[in-house]
């Protein structure tokens, strides 16, 4: 594979799917200038006009849902049924912002000593989005829908292993009536990202990805005094308390941990179970994990497809081995299967203790780390004993107490009670600590990349 191209490889078969040439520096400059021209006109359009284009994007997504879903499955191994649901979620986000932006960005009157004073929300300009491969459509649309509706332009640097998805998203926006170049796919290697951030035409950056990538982008953007939003890794704790509905808790923990072959920043990374119900929970949880089918992601019966790349699978396995060497017990899975593809089995690690990779590092794959806590207080302490802070969940039949723990005790950007942590266009999404800063989605998300302007008149 040439360093001058982005090549997609089917992780289920190892087959090379297609390659896209990287932009030259000259081509990149032309793309940025075209985007700036498109954005300068786009921001003058009324929100109702922008909404019409965004609603058409939802139509384009749904009309070719099968095609987009298959592309995702081929490029990064997501089960086809899950990819279909991802396309629908993107359409939902487009509709949500098309219908709500007028209210989200309406001028806000403030009574002062002026004849008239208010707060107005104006677009910043071109926003660069550095996006990951795990949700190759959703991650992009949850940025693009609010950013474009606010009057900004979008520049996409997508992950190198999903170049077809990047090209497809650009096509969707173009066919939906958005100005050519307003949303631009920048097919460039990672080494060129810094030059894009430093380009005077780029006004802000958003990144979803690893902690090291976030630090690098934030450092460059900070040097240029440009706004950033970072959604980084997570090691989400799921607390199973003594009065929990164990059947529901085990089902939700299983589902959360293995969505997208466990390659989700908000999956149940650390399952913390109070000792009183530990054995009973583990019996149910083990049965559910062991019953899942790993296989061809295009088959309806498949629960778990391959991981996105073999090198990622191998890194995960190395974390599992290091945890076992440090004293963790492998109750299920934990072995690389024979044959082609980047597959890894559903795995359960128990006796997980502080200092092990399974305790302190993010395991980005189908590996559940189960931690036994003596009581509720220790469970909360373990939950917060992490450098991350993206999401968390509590399972208890006492919903009022669960709400108190979620609101007041857990240190994370999203805390759910008796359900799995998920993103929803209606709710803000993002983390604290090493999980990043800023928010996506909801009205909070659309206001991240606008100039919150005070206007005072006498």
Is the model's pLDDT at 309 over the cut of 70?
yes
Closest CA to 260 of 131, 424, 417, 80: 80
Cβ atoms 433, 440 nearer than 8 A? no
Q: What is the DSSP letter of 406?
A: I
Length of the chain: 458
Q: Is 231 a catalytic residue?
A: yes
Provide the pLDDT for residue 1. 41
The string of pLDDT tens digits covering residues 391-431 is: 999 999 999 999 999 999 999 999 999 999 999 999 999 99
pLDDT at site 3: 67
Catalytic residue among 53, 94, 253, 265: 265
Task: Please report the domains of the chain, with CATH numbers, ordered by start residue.
Answer: 5-232+433-457 (3.40.605.10), 237-417 (3.40.309.10)
Tell me if residue 94 is catalytic. Answer: no
pLDDT over threshold 90, residue 178: yes
Name the band, by pLDDT with cuts 50, 70 and 90, for residue 4: confident
Digit-coded pLDDT (tens) for 316-368: 999 999 999 999 999 999 999 999 999 999 999 999 999 999 999 999 999 99
Q: Is the pTM of this model over 0.75?
A: yes
Q: What percentage of the chain carries pLDDT values higher than 70?
A: 99
Cα–Cα distance, 398 to 402 (Å, whole number):
6
| From 75, 95, 170, 231, the catalytic residue | 231
**3 state SS of 222:** helix
């Amino acid at each position: 594979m040439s360093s001058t191209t982005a090549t997609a490889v089917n992780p289920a078969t190892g087959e090379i799917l297609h390659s896209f040439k990287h932009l030259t520096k000259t081509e990149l400059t032309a793309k940025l200038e075209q985007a700036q021209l498109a954005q300068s006109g786009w921001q003058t359009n009324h929100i109702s006009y922008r909404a019409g284009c965004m609603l058409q994007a939802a139509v384009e997504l749904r009309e070719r849902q099968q095609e987009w879903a298959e592309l995702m499955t081929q490029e990064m191994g997501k089960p086809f049924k899950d990819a279909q649901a991802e396309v629908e979620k993107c359409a939902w986000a487009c509709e949500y912002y098309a219908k709500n932006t007028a209210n989200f960005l309406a001028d806000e009157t403030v009574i002062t000593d002026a004849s008239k004073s208010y707060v107005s929300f104006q677009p910043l300009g071109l926003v660069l989005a550095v996006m990951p491969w795990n949700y190759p459509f959703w991650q992009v649309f949850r940025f693009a829908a609010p950013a474009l509706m606010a009057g900004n332009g979008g520049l996409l640097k997508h992950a190198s292993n999903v170049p077809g998805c990047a090209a497809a998203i650009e096509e969707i926006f173009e066919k939906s009536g958005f100005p050519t170049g307003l949303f631009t796919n920048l097919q460039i290697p990672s080494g060129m990202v810094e030059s894009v951030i430093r380009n005077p035409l780029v006004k802000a950056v958003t990144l979803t990805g690893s902690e090291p990538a976030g630090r690098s982008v934030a450092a460059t953007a900070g040097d240029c005094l440009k706004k950033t939003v970072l959604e980084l890794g997570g090691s989400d704790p799921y607390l199973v308390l003594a009065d929990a509905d164990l059947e529901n808790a085990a089902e939700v923990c299983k589902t959360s941990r293995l969505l997208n072959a466990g390659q989700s920043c908000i999956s149940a990374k650390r399952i913390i179970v109070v000792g009183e119900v530990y054995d009973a929970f583990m019996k149910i949880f083990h049965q559910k994990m062991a019953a899942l089918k790993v296989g061809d992601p295009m088959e309806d019966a498949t629960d778990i497809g391959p991981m996105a790349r073999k090198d990622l699978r191998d890194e995960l396995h190395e974390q599992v081995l290091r945890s076992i060497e440090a004293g963790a017990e492998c109750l299920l899975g934990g072995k690389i299967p024979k044959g082609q593809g980047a597959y890894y089995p559903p795995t359960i690690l128990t006796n997980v203790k502080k200092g092990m990779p399974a305790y302190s590092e993010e395991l980005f794959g189908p590996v559940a780390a189960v931690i036994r806590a003596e009581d509720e207080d220790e469970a909360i302490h373990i939950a917060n004993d992490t450098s991350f802070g993206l999401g968390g969940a509590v399972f208890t039949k006492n919903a009022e107490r669960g709400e108190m723990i979620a609101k007041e005790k857990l240190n994370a950007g999203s805390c759910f009670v008796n359900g799995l942590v998920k993103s929803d266009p209606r709710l803000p999404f993002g983390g604290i600590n090493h999980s990043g800063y800023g928010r996506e989605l909801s009205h909070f998300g659309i206001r991240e990349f606008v100039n919150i302007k005070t206007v005072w008149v006498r």
